[in-house]
Chains A and B, each alone.
Chain A
């Protein structure tokens, strides 16, 4: 039994390593396709900017050089089956080992800084660093989504406590104003997660789930929410900030909204941004050691124009 478990531990570790390296050296297919669609319709400077982005993705994936030097705050969203033979603390230990190893190997920049002393820990480990969200689920599978959450896009995160009387119009106003305030800082075209709830903490968490767990073009299953997402996307792109905020047709590639119920007195809206270079990978491991990589994330981006 010990060696069977040992085998699974080394599988999980290998899978985590590959997931992180894959994520930081490309963008997922859904993001690439959205960028490419706009590359084909933009002109002049915005087109040139998108061209440089798409070329950088290709080169990063082939040379295994991090696409962006800021590999961000390593962030994990985990769904851990109750019958999967690893505990949350064992899994977190493995994650910390992998993050520290990949930092010394030059795949991740050491980004964990003590806010009081400004000392960089040098290995990407620190209090609440990396960020690990774990949910327990039924079944025997381990489902891991990794995101390299860059600091430039994190810097413009926003929380609005909207007067409930303003309703969804108030939500829209908050999102649109936040996009203008963010301007060129988060490296547009951005992908936006919006969380709506009664309390600030739930709104924040939902905005991250919306951003990290949904794919570009994937609409919310409820019609009202899906409609709001499309309205927000259309209006954000009307702002005309464009790639790197230098003007153009595309300011956001997509907007994802998740919600929970509110309190009569509160309407909390959290907005989380990803730069165009959304670096994500999702993989599912069964307790028998079977590994299923999401083909949308584990892929080789083509040179411009496909092929």
Chain B
């Protein structure tokens, strides 16, 4: 069982290869659609950012949170569909360099191209398994941009053994689903013709 400590360095992220199953420990930050849009706008405008996500684990997730005794507690957290944010992932990589994205549901051609040119990798958790994933979250370290609402805010979390995380896209531009998708298109051609 391989554990990757986060944040890390470009070498560790860029040497991950599709098909590897890993577990993540250390700090990750959640960021989804609106968070990425704001982050990119602030980079463009040269504004001070709450965190520099270079070599961080950026978790495509929007948690359920409870305030307990003045502290935030994660009640349930798990991955959201990354494919929706393909163009935003690519722009973030161009802006900051390698990042380890954590999500589910795959990424597209724009991310693949950005990973190849600027570094970066993508791991997937099993969607809908928040009851297990939440156990790996040890602490809410900080939260930014709560004005975007709970799901869209940037939650900085300390995690221990977050996984299994399957590497599905790597810095060489490999995508674990390439073969599966190609075969599905061959099958559908046969089915529709007949």
Residues of A within 8 A of B (CB): 25, 45, 48-49, 52-53, 55-57, 59-60, 63, 65-71, 105-111, 113, 118-120, 122, 150-152, 155, 173, 176-177, 180, 183-187, 235, 238-242, 244-247, 275-277
Contact = CB atoms under 8 A, between A and B. Distances in A.
Contacts of B80: 70, 151-152
A69 B105 contact: no
Interface in B64-79: 64-66, 75-78
B110 to A, nearest CB: 16
Q: Among the interface residues A185, A240, A244, which one has the most CB atoms of the partner chain B within 10 A?
A: A244
A55 B76 CA distance: 15
A238 B191 contact: yes
Contact of B191 (A111, A176, A244): A176
Given A66-B76, A111-B151, A187 B104 contact: yes
B131 A67 contact: yes
Interface of B: 34, 61-66, 75-78, 80-81, 83-84, 104-106, 124, 126-132, 134-135, 148-152, 164, 166, 168, 176-177, 179-181, 183-185, 187-188, 191-192
Given A71-B64, A113-B149, A66 B188 contact: no
Given A48-B164, A63-B131, A69-B78, A110 B150 contact: yes
A65 B134 contact: yes
Contacts of A176: 188, 191-192
Contacts of A186: 105
Contacts of A240: 180, 183-184, 187
21 contacts: A55-B129, A55-B132, A56-B132, A59-B135, A65-B131, A67-B130, A70-B80, A71-B64, A106-B76, A109-B150, A110-B150, A120-B150, A122-B149, A150-B128, A151-B81, A183-B181, A187-B105, A241-B184, A244-B104, A247-B179, A275-B128
Leading 9 A-B pairs by shortest Cβ distance: A120-B149, A277-B128, A56-B129, A60-B131, A187-B127, A106-B75, A66-B76, A106-B66, A69-B76
B84 to A, nearest CB: 7
Most B CB within 10 A of own CB, among A45, A108, A246: A246
Contacts of B83: 183-185
A28 to B, nearest CB: 14
A152 B131 CA distance: 17
A60 B138 CA distance: 18
B66 A184 contact: no
B150 A185 contact: no
A245 B106 contact: yes
B129 A53 contact: yes
B123 to A, nearest CB: 12
Contact of B76 (A65, A105, A277): A65
B88 to A, nearest CB: 15
A181 to B, nearest CB: 11
A246 B177 contact: yes
Contacts of B84: 155, 185
B146 to A, nearest CB: 10
B131 A173 contact: no
A66 B75 contact: yes
A241 B127 CA distance: 15
B137 to A, nearest CB: 11
A184 B61 contact: no
Contacts of A244: 104-105, 124, 126-127
A245 B128 contact: no
B37 to A, nearest CB: 10
Nearest to B83: A185
Pick from B63, B66, B106, B149 the residue with the most CB of A within 10 Å.
Answer: B149
A25 B185 CA distance: 36
A276 B191 CA distance: 25
A110 B128 contact: no
A173 B168 CA distance: 29
Most A-side CB within 10 Å, residue of B61, B81, B177, B179: B81
Given A52-B126, A106-B64, A109-B63, A59 B185 contact: no
A109 to B, nearest CB: 5
Given A110-B150, A235-B191, A152 B180 contact: no
Contacts of A109: 62-64, 76, 150-151
Given A63-B131, A152-B105, A187-B127, A177 B188 contact: yes
A239 B83 CA distance: 20
B130 A65 contact: yes
Contacts of A66: 64, 75-76, 130-131
